[in-house]
Chain A
């Protein structure tokens, strides 16, 4: 077990964690404003990938562009699809249930999640009639990996880290420095008082859904670029992991979700990678990656039930 391998695992973990963090923001933002765990968020993530693929495959000429030139268009397509579906879901599925018992919107979210999966599986088509009942190919960078002293950094990894950094910086600025961001914070802290202060809380809730969806779409594109394929059911596991990351970081806390994502990614990669490396522990490697991730969650929740950065939300109950 050399230092290079360890550093490679750290690199892998950071990239994976950045992706988890991007998805986790959606859980955290929505939970922050309406205390709903939006289990359909994994599917919003998945739809972002399909939105981007649609732009790539269906708009003539995009597939012939260099991938770097096509990416902005794919980002627009992916974000647009995710945001439209998330906002639509809020308007049609969650808003009518806002005063219902808490379990009702939760079950609705699970139903919506299954419905969205099946819609893509049944009706999505690529040119040439290829359906999406199984994994479908996603464009990926063809260039060689960058070699930093033995540590390989894939082009898609750089894109993932850069996208996560830009998105998180932008989001932090928005939430903490702008009027809209402060209005969301106010809605999260006390919706009734926020309304009395003239804040349109419904709009702020919609805005939270939209921001989460946009970041999830970016995450889906990074996933497609890294693995070269997306599938209708990829939102389930990714969503569960991101939800874990959100709880780990302290649900309701935007910075916490990114931190939770990165910690989760690092633990997954390091535990499985180190164990895979030694002959006697090899069987607890890749196959057990999820086990270590959830063991970590349980340990953190035992010591800090509010999550790593969860103290900010402790004043509400």
Chain B
């Protein structure tokens, strides 16, 4: 030991000092730091776990959201398709109804025209016949001579007599 330059008592004292320092440090510093580190580690782990859980929840929510969106899109597409179909059917019905109505209007118009034409023809015919009768009456009154009238009366009496036979 002497050859090596080591003083045994000094070494012992140093060992004792070192042990004391180690003991003091262990009691006063090392354990609190370890406890603090452990606490910090747990907090980090909890934070990570929470983050992971949140991420998982977020993923679940995203999946759910996507599912809801897909469902909404499908329903929307279905509604649009149904609306289009219904719209087309209504369009067909409206066109058919309009067609029927148009035909009815045309038919009514034809009937009206026919009625008006017939009424007009009837009126003209009536006027013409009345005018002709009136003219005939006037002309007969002035044209038939007394001789004609007597001839007519005698002829009629003769015919009546023949019927009685």
Partners in one complex: no
Question: Interface of A with B (CB < 8 Å)?
Answer: none
